[in-house]
Structure 1
């Protein structure tokens, strides 16, 4: 696990250093109409990703930025460790021998060749929309856990993240950020379009959708359901260990070790309904309207329980 942490922290530190020499308008670049961070993504990597060969036992987490990706990454890596008869958090954890930064679209173009040497099951994370993922993922029926979160909390968390991470454009005011969020000027694109595209895949057997809010409501049941989906057997003791290690308090406490300087930015509040501290009445109405137009009434839209989590 130590090697994996060093890989993560090293890449983050390198990106932050590179961003410090760039103008605000240089921090993002466009690929197929969607913006991405220049310091961690590249056209060459996207090109190489197209021919990436997925395995049917790959464990893939798909989530829009600030939906709880780091939280679920902790849970899934612990579940994989248990499936390999290893102790979660021990030195011999997932892919520890040849660690790769788990985000599929982040890193150098040669990483996919190196990933062919990783033992199964490989753990991967992506913020990409399904049409921009390698076709082999769907052709080979790799299992995907799709994590979604109510859009108002996603926007709120993304705002604080942008202002805490030099690799992304920062904002002087929440109003400026909200304007860009609604105008599709975010890294990894428009969240509503992201949900709309993934909704087309929501009925596939190899995809399980889970919401940030339902995991908050019942962490043990959620972990158990994830383990079942990926075919991982858990004892009651193992289940409790995974739940305890993935609590916000535990992850925040260990964030310096696991995520370096990024830890303070990633683990801010970890709650639900923080949007109520920022949204104006007009902004509420605008987002409610966008939700109605893009995703309300769909499978994913219903699963988000928008009226419960996003109405005043």
Structure 2
């Protein structure tokens, strides 16, 4: 059983065929709406989303969750390094991130054949995730990033990813993001959903900015959360291999032609190069209306990173 293939949404040939399919599609056909939320027609068609309801999580699974462009691919690489170091294995990274909503129905069925411990990931809102992600009580790592930098990264991602429609103008994408009319739905709806679970002992929420500030500490806390013990030397080594510059250098190996799509700048504060004063103020007001006073907001440190 090739567990590496199972841990990626598709092998390279399948991904090539998906890209060819997307190339023949009009931009307006690359997304479809399901229960009010936009999803990729090519990556997450209705039959794939329907099948997700049957996905059986295990208590020892490692679940990684992040709203798009909040550091998902970065944390996939970090988690794989932690798993390899802790277990003494040296499994090569899969061809694509382990997003369950990208797994065709037949591949989802084969997940049951994978040995423990499985790394499963998703961008989905908690209400749309497989129910067993919560009922089986696996540990769930959730990564959040300040909304201004998330929006900027998402904008560039839409314009560089051939599987998704072009974001058109900056102003148009800004407006869509603010109303939640983007793929995978509203950033703020995701944030509020995780705010409700912030005290769940099986949920660990980490901030992108904190990881950028002190990655060794983040690696240590994440490894402890998943009960994957590391020595101080291993923590230091993993952190050194997982800086953004190191990830970019390795992206051709880890993500092939998608490397430049997934890893752009990785900076904190790049929003200042894109937002107008009026847009910054509009985001500040929305943030205050949605998240002010929440425990998640206290961790996000919005005033420091978004003012």
Runs of 4+ in 1 over 2 A off after TM superposition: 1-16
Partner of 2:261: 265
Partner of 1:35: 38
1:121 CA drift (Å): 0.6
What pairs with 1:16-165 in structure 2 (closer than 5 Å)? 16-87=19-90, 92-93=91-92, 102-165=98-161
Cα 1:48–1:239 change in 2 (3 A) is: same
Cα-to-partner distance string for 1:206-231 (whole Å, 9 max, x where unaligned):
00000000000100000000001001
- Aligned match for 2:223, one of 210, 220, 227: 227
- In the alignment, is residue 208 of structure 1 matched against residue 204 of structure 2? yes
2: distance between equivalents of 1:86 and 1:109? 29
SS at match of 2:33: strand
SS at match of 2:63: strand
The root-mean-square deviation of aligned C-alpha atoms, in Å, is 1.9
2: distance between equivalents of 1:172 and 1:100? 26
2: distance between equivalents of 1:143 and 1:6? 21
2: distance between equivalents of 1:146 and 1:107? 20
- In the alignment, is residue 174 of structure 1 matched against residue 170 of structure 2? yes
- In the alignment, is residue 302 of structure 1 matched against residue 298 of structure 2? yes
Partner of 2:278: 282
Structure 2 contact 18–42 (Cα < 8 Å) conserved: yes
1:101 CA drift (Å): 5.5
Deviates more, 1:42-51 or 1:153-162: 42-51
1: distance between equivalents of 2:155 and 2:97? 24
1: distance between equivalents of 2:227 and 2:170? 43
SS at match of 1:265: helix
2: distance between equivalents of 1:69 and 1:38? 21
- Aligned match for 2:287, one of 282, 291, 296: 291
Structure 1 contact 24–169 (Cα < 8 Å) conserved: yes
2: distance between equivalents of 1:34 and 1:302? 28
1: distance between equivalents of 2:250 and 2:4? 13
Number of positions where the alignment pairs a residue of Structure 1 with one of Structure 2: 304
- Aligned match for 1:241, one of 224, 237, 241: 237
1:183 CA drift (Å): 2.3
SS at match of 1:22: coil
Give the TM-score of the pair, scaled to structure 1: 0.92
2: distance between equivalents of 1:295 and 1:244? 33
What pairs with 1:179-198 in structure 2 (closer than 5 Å)? 179-198=175-194
Cα 1:236–1:86 change in 2 (3 A) is: same
Structure 1 contact 273–309 (Cα < 8 Å) conserved: yes
SS at match of 1:110: helix
Structure 2 contact 8–97 (Cα < 8 Å) conserved: no
Cα 1:125–1:10 change in 2 (3 A) is: farther
1:42 CA drift (Å): 1.4
2: distance between equivalents of 1:147 and 1:309? 16
